[in-house]
Structures are given as structure tokens and as C-alpha cells.
Copies of this chain bind each other. A is one copy, B any other.
Amino acid sequence: MAKHDKTQIGVSTILNPVPVVMVSCCGKDKSDSLSRPDIVTVAWTGTVNSEPPMLSISLRKSRHSHLLISDTREFVVNLVSKSLAKSCDFCGVKSGRDIDKFEATGLTAIPAEGMNFAVAIKESPVNISCRVRSVTELGSHDLFIADIVAVNADSYLLDDTGRLNLDKAMLVSYNHGEYFLPGKKIGFFGYSVASEDVIKRRLG
């Protein structure tokens, strides 16, 4: 069998690896499960526009967070570091209708920059405040396209010049149902046409 012999497999959501993030939100209602902050785990997310910066998340209509975000049109994307991986998985298998996810995970809800209702997760290295621009029904999921309105990062990720060093955050990715830490750095944008000097400096 030659290395690149192909086999047709079932049609499925096979794009990999994808990000996996914890989306935090809070309802405006004052009843119990709607007023407490919630966290939902989302792998169906991506950057969709550069200028202005936008990202998307896809949520099933049945999710508790769908209700909260549809109501407030706000959410925070919290990037997931190694130490958050287990809580991230937990928030993907439980519903905020039944439990208080901040209490259950021991994570801390903090005010989110630029948001009126949505909270951020303190223990996440990067909190991305998002305001919903549009919602599109696609089938099992609704696609929320949102403007990024503020970004807060753990201060230890910034060097003396203010440059963000995301390597230090050990962000988790999701590949075919499994969580992975980042491995070896093998290149940077433009390395295929960069000089040997630049490659040596940046990749060692």
C-alpha cells in the first residue's frame, strides 16, 4: 500500500486540530439558573475576520448558554491552558441548567472588559470579550458571529516591550475527540521563504 492511497470515509466534522475554549456568559434574568454565570465548552469556533477582528462560535439550540447568549448578545471566549483542561472537559459534559459550573469547577468569575452581563474566567490566560453581530441557523447548531471588543491577558505572558508570548500559556487543542498540549515549534509565518539567519534565530 503506497503512503497516500486514499480511502473514502464517512462525511463528518473531520477538520482537525481545532481550538477548544471555555465560553462564559450570564443571563440578565433574575431567576436562579438564568442569573448565575455559566460556562460552556466550545470546539466549533474560529477566527472569521481580521479587520475588524471577529470570531464565531456554534452552539446547539438546546444548550443553556444558547439561551443566555441569545438574550444578552454577549459572551467571553476564555482560552484553555494545560491547568484548565479538566475543567474545560467537565463544562462540556454538564449543563448549566443543572449545576453552577463556577462552583463545581472552583473557577473564579470576574468582570469582563466591555461587557454588561458576561463574565470572564480569571484562571484563563486570555479572556476575549465578544459582542454578537449575527446568528445564523445551520441545522444542529446556530452560528454566532461576534465582534471582539476587548482582550485581557495574564500579565506574565507579556514581555518588557508589551509583546505577548502565548507559548508560555500552553494552550490546549482538540484533535478528533482528544485534548493535546502543544508540541515542537516547527516554523513561523513566512519561514518557507525566510533566510537561514532568520530561521536560526527564531527556531534555534
> What separation, in Å, do the CA atoms of A45 and B13 have in the docked complex?
12
Question: Footprint of B on A, CB under 8 Å?
Answer: 1, 3-19, 21, 43-56, 58, 77, 79, 82, 85-87, 89-90, 92-94, 110, 113, 122-123, 126-128, 136, 138-141, 143, 145, 148-156, 158, 162, 164, 166-167, 171-173, 175-193
- Complex CA distance for A128 and B183, rounded to whole angstroms: 25
List 7 A-B pairs, Cβ < 8 Å.
Answer: A6-B154, A9-B153, A13-B47, A17-B17, A44-B47, A89-B193, A183-B184
Contact between chains at A190 and B89 (CB < 8 Å): yes
A9 to B166, CA, bound (A): 13
Closest chain B residue, CB of each to CB of A153: B9
Residues of B within 8 Å of A49, CB to CB, are: 13, 44, 58, 138-141, 143
Residue of B nearest to A12 (CB): B53
* Contact B192 A48, beta carbon cutoff 8 Å: no
Which 6 A-B pairs rank lowest in CB-CB distance, beginning with the nearest?
A: A46-B46, A183-B183, A90-B192, A181-B183, A49-B138, A89-B192
Contact B13 A148 (CB under 8 A): yes
Verify A187–B46 contact, CB threshold 8 A: no
CB distance from A70 to the nearest CB of B (A): 17
Asked if residues A17 and B181 are in contact (CB atoms below 8 Å), the reply is: no
Q: Is the CB of A16 within 8 A of B79?
A: yes
Is B139's CB under 8 angstroms from A54's CB? yes
Alpha-carbon distance A150/B5, docked complex (angstroms): 16
Interchain CB contact under 8 A, B158 and A9:
yes
- When C-beta atoms are compared, the residue in chain B nearest to A157 turns out to be B7
